[in-house]
Amino acid sequence: MQREKFLVVNSHFQLQYEEKQSCYVLLYPEGMVQLSFSAGEIMSLCDGKNSCDSIITALVEKFSNQAIESDVIEFLDEAMSRNWIIYHEAR
């Protein structure tokens, strides 16, 4: 994980909050992935304006929990391997 690069949801997917399910989902042509609360919080910050480090900082501040860094990195690595997120060039 290149922690200083900006992350964005891959354009082959659509991230949205589903009121009926009370969670974020990741939609793609073949189906849908229902995300856990923490995964949805992380994915919602992959907007092309945040790097791995800034996502960690935002979540640590939001949840007042310094111990989440390794979990966030682990999830971002997994999301990257599944092509849910990609690196985005800042403009």
Q: Across all residues in the chain, what is the average pLDDT?
A: 92
Q: Could you tell me the pLDDT band of residue 90, with boundaries at 50, 70 and 90?
A: low
User: In terms of pLDDT, which residue wins out, 3 or 39?
Assistant: 39
Quote the CA–CA distance of 54 and 6 in Å, as a whole number. Answer: 9
Q: What is the mean pLDDT of residues 7-18?
A: 96
The domain total for the chain is 1
What is the reported pLDDT for 1? 65
Residue 56, domain extent: 6-85
For residue 90, is it within any domain?
A: no
Name residue 29's beta-bridge partners. Answer: none
For residue 61, the domain's CATH number is 1.10.10.1150
Quote the CA–CA distance of 21 and 17 in Å, as a whole number. Answer: 8
For residue 91, is it within any domain?
A: no
For residue 76, is it within any domain?
A: yes
For residue 65, is it within any domain?
A: yes
Quote the CA–CA distance of 44 and 25 in Å, as a whole number. Answer: 10
Quote the CA–CA distance of 65 and 70 in Å, as a whole number. Answer: 12
Quote the CA–CA distance of 49 and 55 in Å, as a whole number. Answer: 10
The answer to whether the CB of 33 falls within 8 A of the CB of 26 is: yes
